[in-house]
A and B are shown apart, each in its own frame.
Chain A
């Protein structure tokens, strides 16, 4: 039986384990419970019944109304009402339309979509067929990163099996509705998660976003009306038809009904995928499901929304998790990354880390994102090296505001968030870097050094022996000295010394 580490209590059943207690598994309902490579197991779990119901009992408009009523919002980050997206694509006049599943999950450390595709691929196929029926499309693309080989192979198996049973292909359920699905592989560009960039990539063009309008609902892949939904959004669709929109709205908040899957990571005791009702507080997720901060350190911040989300401090831990609340405090829902930081994290360094990622992933099309993010990163590097000035902080804020205000796509419009939110909530840390030339968390290497305190050093030679740079000199039982020129600040001596004779500062 499971032994709860904090209390040493033996717990019976999943629901009594703190990690699972507050979770509600809807999108992940079948993951781990069925064999994803056997369509019969999905069917046994009510699979394809929602599709049957839609095709045989409902008109496309009724299907769309049901999704609108459920209040389901896009789980990829934007939170756009899914039903409306379907409605607008249905309203566009065209001989051909397309459904696209966005499986270009790119946030570092996030694997919600991969888990769904690997554990329950049919739920996505079924939902795509429903969406196809609703908007009038006969073909769907799944745009998936090539770095997800298992998800790809399970999707291929699932598509093959569904075709064999007539659940995809021609004349599905003898209703005259035809629907097929093909895979398109992404080459690992983060920006291709943006829908217009994704569409260009599907077409074989450079994965760059373009101005909206035209929205994909008007002109998408091959210039035809297209509807792009995220994997998790699709996974939520079938139960809405089997249990009704009211059931869906029973949990979550009024504006953000349902659940959201997060990839909980960082300095918490329990990490992994968690699916929680919207409206739950960050405190519940971090301290109850996550089991609190590792090694009893102090909580410092939690970063939500992937690399371009913002950092949230302890003052906002009790706000409910939903689209609006998160953006009101400078962060965002994003696709569900949630990274917890403790007192050992330097917030300037964290901001730099995220900006390095978004800077590398900028497609280079628009000026603010291409050059602006590079300049912001350069200023952050200057600060973490101890060369920053207070003017740099002002420049950072101004650059960040303009990049958000003028960038072409969501990537640039959000990339300054980690910098701006840390500047806002952790200004004192930035000031310590630029005014006192000090990194309070002791992370920024240029801003601290190691010294041996002569009164405490017993000359045990342990530090000299472990030093990978061989830069500590001293004889046995005599005081040792660190050559600052050659020291690489790896902390090995600091961690080895048993006499607290090495000072970091």
Chain B
């Protein structure tokens, strides 16, 4: 591509053809305010609806102002970004937004996290000039995890881009027209009746409080304060590399020890680790894979730790429900083990045990309520908090996370290996499974435990691993758009893989819908991934089957991996759901 010469605010620059004015201005350190625009670097997608009209600039020779986010530069173009005409237009556009927006910022879920609020402050808007009707809609609270409050929607269309283009779930589209336009699932169905898989990626890109998370903090406070409850908390691998961001730490800072200390301060009776259950998952999943491989079972086997992905195939690929592993997800395995094995061991009535999961994920909130994920009439998990919610809760409790001394998880459900830590990133589950399956199949020690072909941010990654002279073809897909490609290949018989890991969120759990907002900032995700692999490296054991607490669990309680008891407690089944 050739270079194009442009002048922006009297500064000259040559940029590649096809560059937008906004990008060219950025190279000159000229900042143009934006609102709907979002560059989701990590999935190579730009929300280019150009609908908000905040980033308008003046181009010499053009009659109208142009949106800098969607206007490519042209040779000799002369642009001004800060003329009175631009500034007045920008202000008026934001004033129009505010005239149709609830002004309850003080008590809004997104107070201090709202892009509209920041923009209004930046443009020094202190008065709402126009008064008139405000669009009002019924709040949709039907979903277990996502609240839709269309009164606060500014129609930036980011959620549509995320859901339809990146995730290919296709829940959202604009309904009605003109002033009455709003974003809704097909037929304006409530979220819980839609094909939403609750990955929460829409929530993670929403600039206002139009899409927010169901708040479970009060339930957890209540449990912590209930006299008869034995409250156990477990934390997912991806939480420990992101929670620090809520307290001003660099993305990727590993705060495992501080988090444990904080949770203990809050009054949890036991602070355990989902990583323990991730090791357990590997025991079951590797055993299941080997069983299918050696007995002519259905291949490829697909991982099943991600509830968003599970719901996705239940809706959209439900002709292949026999492909995914039947393993429950790690935090569900944890819940059931806590309420059976641990309860028996400690002599606690499982009815009094309250299991709280701290997850990077929104779908886990929904998953915890799935009726098949119960044992003895008890839900395996009682409450799920996102990483963001935990951060909020700690702040509410006046806990200054970054200044706490590191503490260790409680035993025995707090012991884990490096294999389980990497569950938090794309490629990690299958890498962990390989570490175990290889040794079980070959009876040899795996010397090089790191599978670098399976790491990184490529949408679909693949590797061939030689085990006992057999080439085992592995694939990893993250982001449901990539998952769809892999699944369509399986459906049409073109797939040659033996095992595939799929995560609904781009980047895997580190990019989960419940993590601190990153708004497409790729650096944040990269650093979180580095944090995960660093934690793996520092672990004494790096293979799940070497976890002493896991070995003991099988000896004392479960028997064989993939055995009868294990199946009763640790495995599940899938349901056919409507594709509409």
* A363 contacts B181, C-beta separation under 8 Å: yes
Residues of B8-57 contacting chain A, CB below 8 A: 48-54, 56
B121 contacts partner chain A, Cβ-Cβ < 8 Å: no
A224 contacts partner chain B, Cβ-Cβ < 8 Å: no
Q: Which of A245-253, A261-269, A399-407 contacts B (4 or more CB under 8 A)?
A: A399-407
B69 to chain A, nearest CB (A): 9
Name the one of A189, A213, A395, A402 contacting B93, with C-beta atoms under 8 angstroms.
A402
* B178 contacts A359, C-beta separation under 8 Å: yes
* A371 contacts B71, C-beta separation under 8 Å: no
* A395 contacts B130, C-beta separation under 8 Å: yes
- Rounded to whole angstroms, the CA-CA distance of A373 and B133 in the bound complex is 12
Q: A366 and B53 in contact (CB under 8 A), knowing A213-B72, A406-B65?
A: yes
* A370 contacts B155, C-beta separation under 8 Å: yes
Name the one of B130, B132, B177 contacting A364, with C-beta atoms under 8 angstroms.
B177
- Rounded to whole angstroms, the CA-CA distance of A375 and B179 in the bound complex is 10
B187 to chain A, nearest CB (A): 14
Residues of A contacting B65 in the complex (Cβ-Cβ under 8 angstroms): 405-406
Name the one of A213, A360, A378, A402 contacting B133, with C-beta atoms under 8 angstroms.
A378
* A371 contacts B50, C-beta separation under 8 Å: no
A324 to chain B, nearest CB (A): 13
A223 contacts partner chain B, Cβ-Cβ < 8 Å: no
A365 contacts partner chain B, Cβ-Cβ < 8 Å: yes
**By DSSP majority rule, is chain A's interface helix, strand, loop, or mixed?**
helix
Residues of A contacting B48 in the complex (Cβ-Cβ under 8 angstroms): 211
- Rounded to whole angstroms, the CA-CA distance of A366 and B48 in the bound complex is 12
Most B CB contacts (10 A, CB to CB) among A210, A213, A370 go to A370
- Rounded to whole angstroms, the CA-CA distance of A360 and B176 in the bound complex is 11
A398 contacts partner chain B, Cβ-Cβ < 8 Å: yes
* B176 contacts A364, C-beta separation under 8 Å: yes
* A362 contacts B174, C-beta separation under 8 Å: no
* A374 contacts B70, C-beta separation under 8 Å: no
A491 contacts partner chain B, Cβ-Cβ < 8 Å: no
A208 contacts partner chain B, Cβ-Cβ < 8 Å: yes
- Rounded to whole angstroms, the CA-CA distance of A373 and B179 in the bound complex is 9
Residues of A contacting B93 in the complex (Cβ-Cβ under 8 angstroms): 367-368, 402, 406
Q: Which residue of A lies closest to B74 (CB)?
A: A213
Residues of B contacting A361 in the complex (Cβ-Cβ under 8 angstroms): 177-178
- Rounded to whole angstroms, the CA-CA distance of A399 and B179 in the bound complex is 16
Q: Which residue of A lies closest to B18 (CB)?
A: A213
Residues of A contacting B130 in the complex (Cβ-Cβ under 8 angstroms): 375, 378, 395, 399
Residues of A contacting B88 in the complex (Cβ-Cβ under 8 angstroms): 398, 402
- Rounded to whole angstroms, the CA-CA distance of A361 and B177 in the bound complex is 7
B330 contacts partner chain A, Cβ-Cβ < 8 Å: no
A334 contacts partner chain B, Cβ-Cβ < 8 Å: no
- Rounded to whole angstroms, the CA-CA distance of A367 and B67 in the bound complex is 12
- Rounded to whole angstroms, the CA-CA distance of A303 and B472 in the bound complex is 74
* A365 contacts B132, C-beta separation under 8 Å: no
Q: Hey, what's the 0/1 contact readout for A375-410 against B, CB within 8 Å counting as 1?
A: 100100000000000000001001100101111100
* A408 contacts B50, C-beta separation under 8 Å: yes
* B96 contacts A368, C-beta separation under 8 Å: yes
Task: Give the number of residue pairs across the A-B interface with Cβ within 8 Å.
Answer: 109
B565 to chain A, nearest CB (A): 53
Residues of A contacting B56 in the complex (Cβ-Cβ under 8 angstroms): 405-406
Q: Hey, what's the 0/1 contact readout for A330-371 against B, CB within 8 Å counting as 1?
A: 000000000000000000000000000001111111111011
* A406 contacts B174, C-beta separation under 8 Å: no
* B180 contacts A395, C-beta separation under 8 Å: no
* A362 contacts B177, C-beta separation under 8 Å: yes
Residues of A contacting B67 in the complex (Cβ-Cβ under 8 angstroms): 211, 408
A372 contacts partner chain B, Cβ-Cβ < 8 Å: yes
Residues of B contacting A405 in the complex (Cβ-Cβ under 8 angstroms): 56, 64-65, 85, 89
B416 contacts partner chain A, Cβ-Cβ < 8 Å: no
Q: A371 and B96 in contact (CB under 8 A), knowing A361-B178, A405-B89?
A: yes
Q: A399 and B92 in contact (CB under 8 A), knowing A208-B174, A211-B70, A405-B85?
A: yes
Residues of B contacting A402 in the complex (Cβ-Cβ under 8 angstroms): 88-89, 92-93
* B174 contacts A364, C-beta separation under 8 Å: yes
Q: Hey, what's the 0/1 contact readout for B93-123 against A, CB within 8 Å counting as 1?
A: 1001101100000000000000000000000
Name the one of B52, B99, B176 contacting A375, with C-beta atoms under 8 angstroms.
B99
Q: Which residue of A lies closest to B50 (CB)?
A: A211
- Rounded to whole angstroms, the CA-CA distance of A503 and B126 in the bound complex is 48
B184 to chain A, nearest CB (A): 12
Residues of A contacting B154 in the complex (Cβ-Cβ under 8 angstroms): 367
Residues of A contacting B176 in the complex (Cβ-Cβ under 8 angstroms): 364
Q: A371 and B51 in contact (CB under 8 A), knowing A364-B174, A402-B89, A405-B65?
A: no
* A189 contacts B133, C-beta separation under 8 Å: no
* A371 contacts B174, C-beta separation under 8 Å: no
Name the one of B64, B92, B133 contacting A398, with C-beta atoms under 8 angstroms.
B92
* B96 contacts A367, C-beta separation under 8 Å: yes
B465 to chain A, nearest CB (A): 39
A173 to chain B, nearest CB (A): 41
B90 to chain A, nearest CB (A): 9
- Rounded to whole angstroms, the CA-CA distance of A290 and B88 in the bound complex is 44
Residues of B169-222 contacting chain A, CB below 8 A: 173-174, 176-181
Residues of B contacting A210 in the complex (Cβ-Cβ under 8 angstroms): 49-50
Residues of B contacting A372 in the complex (Cβ-Cβ under 8 angstroms): 92, 96
A206 contacts partner chain B, Cβ-Cβ < 8 Å: yes
A201 contacts partner chain B, Cβ-Cβ < 8 Å: no
- Rounded to whole angstroms, the CA-CA distance of A191 and B177 in the bound complex is 10
* B179 contacts A362, C-beta separation under 8 Å: yes
Q: Which residue of A lies closest to B131 (CB)?
A: A378
* A364 contacts B85, C-beta separation under 8 Å: no
- Rounded to whole angstroms, the CA-CA distance of A363 and B155 in the bound complex is 12
Residues of B contacting A367 in the complex (Cβ-Cβ under 8 angstroms): 51-54, 93, 96-97, 154-155
Residues of B contacting A208 in the complex (Cβ-Cβ under 8 angstroms): 174
A304 contacts partner chain B, Cβ-Cβ < 8 Å: no
Residues of A2-44 contacting chain B, CB below 8 A: none
* B92 contacts A359, C-beta separation under 8 Å: no
- Rounded to whole angstroms, the CA-CA distance of A210 and B92 in the bound complex is 22
Residues of B contacting A213 in the complex (Cβ-Cβ under 8 angstroms): 71-72
B129 contacts partner chain A, Cβ-Cβ < 8 Å: yes
- Rounded to whole angstroms, the CA-CA distance of A357 and B88 in the bound complex is 27
Residues of A contacting B52 in the complex (Cβ-Cβ under 8 angstroms): 366-367
Q: Hey, what's the 0/1 contact readout for B129-165 against A, CB within 8 Å counting as 1?
A: 1101100000000000000000000110000000000
Instruction: Supply 19 A–B pairs (Cβ within 8 Å), ascending by A.
Output: A189-B177, A191-B177, A211-B67, A362-B177, A363-B181, A364-B177, A365-B155, A367-B53, A367-B155, A372-B96, A374-B178, A374-B179, A375-B96, A402-B88, A402-B89, A405-B56, A406-B53, A407-B53, A407-B64
Closest 6 pairs (CB-CB, A-B):
A364-B181, A362-B178, A211-B70, A378-B132, A371-B96, A406-B53
Chain B positions near chain A (C-beta within 8 angstroms): 48-54, 56, 64-65, 67, 70-72, 85, 88-89, 92-93, 96-97, 99-100, 129-130, 132-133, 154-155, 173-174, 176-181
- Given contact pairs A211-B48, A371-B99, enumerate 12 new A-B contacts (beta carbons under 8 Å): A189-B177, A211-B67, A361-B178, A362-B178, A364-B174, A365-B181, A367-B51, A367-B53, A367-B97, A373-B179, A374-B178, A405-B89
